[in-house]
Amino acid sequence: MNRSTEYERRQAAREFHVRNPDVWRLFQRFTWEKINVGFQHYSVRGIWHRIRWETPAGDDGIVKFKLGDHHAKFYGEAFMKNNPQFEGFFRKREVKEI
């Protein structure tokens, strides 16, 4: 099995982000909605799936799946880095490399 490194996953997320700036705008919007109604913690995947199922954002939806799960983690990390007062809003799991 070919497992990508953390660096390769981050690089792929950066490339996806450049191609799909609408995903970041939606991620922020949907996250702020949860914060503004009082959530102290929420799921990155919950936000991601809302983008996936409620919007046309992401890759073309024909050749590539419109919004795969593999970049969600990096969007959660970026949100908390850009909004340090909400560090911990998205809980992180440590991924162990095999």
Assign 95 a pLDDT band (cuts: 50, 70, 90). low
Q: What is the pTM of this model?
A: 0.83
Residues, the chain, total?
A: 98
Residue 8 region, left (φ>0) first, then alpha (ψ -120 to 50), else beta?
alpha
User: Which residue's entry shows tokens 């009082």?
Assistant: 38
Q: Express each pLDDT in 37-54 by its tens digit.
A: 999 999 999 999 999 888
